[in-house]
Amino acid sequence: MTVSIRDLRPGDPPDVEAVVRVRRATLPFMISTAGGVAFELVGAHPDEHHRILVAEDGDGLVIGTAQVGIAHDSAEPGLSSANVHVDPGHRGRGAGTALLRAAEEHVSALGAVKVFSWVPDEAPSRAYAERRGYRPSRSAHFLRLDLTTAELPPYPRELPPGVELRPGSAFAGDPRPLFEADAAATADEPGDVPVVLDDYEDWLRTIWQDPELDHELTSVVLVDGAVAAFTAARTDGETRYASAMTGTLAGYRGRGLAKLAKTDSLRRARAAGYRVAFTGNDTENGPMLAVNRRFGYEVGASEVRYVRELHG
């Protein structure tokens, strides 16, 4: 079968919808919308050299896609990522190999020395990655919660002195406190690519303005007026909700503030009509896995992060 690789046409709605279709088929535990896919390209930092590649069969049907780019915000230079997704009904026809080759060529030409890729924790997918020189680095779980039946924790009868709950939308006039909290939480996030958030304007453009970030359902806990904990919400605008990041700043841990933020966000999401909630945790992140288990989340699938050395 003939497979051709090209870049996504972000101004072509059917092309964008085709990428959404493939992503939803391969990553059912993540939020994927047409607005979000288009935003990936227009909102990406120039130094990321971000591309969304698509694989077409001989009839012009999009059967696979890949997200590829340089980890420009990493404290370690030369890192990149290439995540490949092929429609389950069209695997074994060379689309994944062609996408991965094109992605590796793109980042290699930009000087990347390592490429990271998330791979389903399934024997065929892992064997495929390892045959191509990739080695496992870490793993993570996708978690799912049925909001229509979940017994969510109740709100506390009263908040402790000095503690307040605010939606993310309350910071629309000045999101900098959320940027600073996100930067601090990201610095503590377990991972194999060290990320540094230190560019406020870039954060505004690439994170705060992302159409999938739901400012109203994002919950922020303040202690004496300062951001102490938060949970960022992503939604598809219909029935699907996801926790993008939950963090508690150093000095405020051990007080149940992350649980308070998640409780508030999940309860308001259910009241807004969202029916299913997703989140993801590194398999080594025991504290957050424990928190999510207490909320009723169950593991729906797992992924393994693989890495390949490209140069020297």
Overall fold of domain 4-112: Aminopeptidase (3.40.630)
Cα distance from N-terminal residue to C-terminal residue, the chain: 35
The domain limits of the chain are 4-112, 145-303
pTM to 2 decimals? 0.92
What tens-digit pLDDT sequence spans the chain (312 residues)? 689 999 999 889 999 999 999 999 999 999 999 999 999 998 899 999 999 999 999 999 999 999 999 998 888 899 999 999 999 999 999 999 999 999 999 999 999 999 999 999 999 999 999 999 999 999 999 999 999 999 999 999 899 999 999 999 999 999 999 999 999 998 877 667 777 788 999 999 999 999 999 999 999 999 999 999 999 999 999 999 999 889 999 999 999 999 999 999 999 999 999 999 999 999 988 888 988 999 999 999 999 999 999 974
Cβ atoms within 10 Å of 174's Cβ, excluding its own: 9
Please tell me if the domain spanning 4-112 has the same topology as the one spanning 145-303: yes
Q: Name the amino acid, one letter, at 264.
A: D
Q: Measure the CA–CA gap between 285 and 279, rounded to whole angstroms.
A: 13
Domain at 145-303, CATH class: alpha beta
